[in-house]
Amino acid sequence: MMGTDKKLRSNVSQPSIIEPGQPASRPDDPPLLPGEKVMGVAREVTYLCPYSGPARGVLSVTNYKLHFRSMDRDTPYVVEVPLGVVSRVEKVGGQSSRGENSYGIELFCKDMRNLRFGHKQENHSRRNVFEKLQQYAFPLSHKLPLFAFDYSEVFPENGWNVLEPIAEFKRMGVPNDMWKITKINEHYEICDSYPAVWAIPAAATDDDVRAVAAFRSRARIPVLSWIHPESQATICRCSQPLVGVGGKRCREDERYIQLIMDANAQSHKLYIMDARPSANAIANKAKGGGYESEDAYQNAELVFLDIHNIHVMRESLRKLKDLCFPNVEEARWLSGIEATYWLKHIKYILAGASRIANRVETHKTSVLVHCSDGWDRTAQLTALAMLLLDPYYRTIKGFEVLIEKEWLSFGHKFQQRIGHGDDRHSDADRSPVFLQFVDCVWQLTQMFPDAFQFNETLLITILDHLYSCRFGTFLFNSDRERVQDNVKQRTVSLWSYINSSIDNYRNPLYLPRPGVLEPVASVRLISLWKGLYCRWNPGMRPQDPIYQRIRELLVLKEQLEKQVDECKQEQKARVSRNMPTPPRLASPVHS
């Protein structure tokens, strides 16, 4: 039975703030978030778990999630899927379908899962569930708002303030003699996919900027991403030059690139790292794009990093999903992973980032990074190179800043790549570009287990909410769109949520240290992130997580340190008082 009006009213009358996990007033209701409402309930639904077999229970659909609670198990279990995660909903089994549980609904998810539910034909519950799932999984296709605009939870910290562009530039010592901050794009008039505030060579004029914008795809001109605190070698990012088949040149662009090179006194060279395979870069000339010729750009060395485009990556992930879910073929597991090329793609991205970091750090040479439009592979490369170079980005807050800066403010098209609330599941614009970046970060945390303040939980939480549409963070394609829709005012930032329980995301092994990480990008050292891709399969979970033990050790250490401290204070006090009377002894240890 679907929820009736009465049911919905009873829900509305509940206190408006319900903590997640707190039971709602009616026993069948799932726990609700502030702003979440039950849209439909169906009973006698069977969840066809690929691991533990069918379970009968109650299925609820809210404006945020699908919630299933089993009723026929000794220990009832719950399956919960934020509807933003759903990429496709399908009916399975027709009117005449035979066999138990063959009639129902199947959900295909962006997080590697598929879920299948069996409905009783005689209940007529399927039609309503299907309809509600369609509406709330794909609200944009049904002229409904994304859940983030209904969600009203209040957190102590406002995550929207995590990145203050001017402050972040200041942290890097910008402005300085060679770099200035410009608000020429304050109203997104030069480049509608770029942030409002840029750092550019101090010698560049507004006219230069306009001329360069005309010569770069989508007007994404070279601007500063990062500057080395000592050598002043920089990482800049942009899109491809509009060279075309005729090999067009642009004096202003050439001069502007020279200004970037000149801003670094340590080197008379500039590396232009083109993320693409050279064949793709050449092919782009036919569409008016291309790459910098070394004739036109004196002292620049062009390097192709051989990273494939969004379509290749999407196909690779599709194969990986087939391999990981629901079950894997034991005997072909390793060759199956190899055949997806997922790890190979990860390797090329890591190798590219490592190369950029090495040029900046060791060669003290500035690097300009682009791909075609500069919002996919370029973001992967600059963000990873910055993570390798700058320990600040390896802290939790620094990592949030990095994502805000290199991904969000520079217009990675989250809306297009993820397809939030959109039912066109086979849209060719979708691609796991940001997922690949997070996978690369995970690989680095495995290679350097004490270099990151955050743990795997942070990375998985970010990815969960990349899809969930609970927070405003990953909505829209650019800062301009987010400003236009008042996202900061109307939605909650993911960082508000994460920073309110930051201890969950700490790496107990973290040891803050300066210095650059130098990963070896080899398939032999890169491994499949089972904790993410295989997490739905209970047989794939680690049997005995090491981190719990380390965390306990750290807590114990802190308590002991406190005790030693108190003891010393006490002794000091006693000495100064020259005490004959008894001291108050150290407090007991709580473990």
- Give catalytic residue positions: 371
Complex with a copy of itself: residue 177 or 330, whichever CB lies closer: 330
CA distance 528 to 534: 9
- DSSP of 127-147, one letter per residue? HHHHHHHHHHHSGGGGT---G
To the question of whether residue 331 is assigned a binding role by annotation, the answer is no
To the question of whether residue 375 is assigned a binding role by annotation, the answer is yes
CB of 554 to a copy of itself, least distance (A): 7
Complex with a copy of itself: residue 134 or 446, whichever CB lies closer: 446
CB of 556 to a copy of itself, least distance (A): 6
To the question of whether residue 549 is assigned a binding role by annotation, the answer is no
Short-list 184, 232, 498, CA closest to 364: 232
To the question of whether residue 373 is assigned a binding role by annotation, the answer is yes
Q: Are 194 and 411 spatial neighbours (Cβ–Cβ below 8 Å)?
A: yes
What per-residue string of b and e applies to 90-104 under the rule 16 or more CB within 10 Å gives b?
A: eebbeeeeeeebebb
Q: What sign has the CA pseudo-torsion 519, 523, 527, 532?
A: positive
Total Cβ atoms within 10 A of residue 563: 14
CA distance 477 to 263: 31
CB of 533 to a copy of itself, least distance (A): 11
To the question of whether residue 231 is assigned a binding role by annotation, the answer is no
CB of 591 to a copy of itself, least distance (A): 6
DSSP three-state, residue 61? strand
To the question of whether residue 377 is assigned a binding role by annotation, the answer is yes
Complex with a copy of itself: residue 17 or 511, whichever CB lies closer: 511
CA distance 69 to 280: 49
Complex with a copy of itself: residue 17 or 555, whichever CB lies closer: 555
Q: What sign has the CA pseudo-torsion 214, 167, 269, 306?
A: negative
Residue recorded with tokens 């770099």 = 179
Q: Are 79 and 115 spatial neighbours (Cβ–Cβ below 8 Å)?
A: yes
Give phi and psi for 394, each to the nearest 5.
-90, 0
Complex with a copy of itself: residue 295 or 331, whichever CB lies closer: 331
CB of 334 to a copy of itself, least distance (A): 4
Complex with a copy of itself: residue 246 or 542, whichever CB lies closer: 542
To the question of whether residue 372 is assigned a binding role by annotation, the answer is yes
Give contact residues for a copy of itself (rule: CB under 8 A).
328, 330-335, 337-339, 343-344, 347, 447-451, 509, 511, 518-520, 522-525, 527, 530, 534, 539-540, 542-544, 546, 549-550, 553-554, 556-557, 560-561, 563-564, 567-568, 570-571, 574-575, 578-591
| H or E segment to which residue 547 belongs | helix 546-577
CB of 57 to a copy of itself, least distance (A): 27
Binding residues for substrate: 284-287, 309-310, 371-377
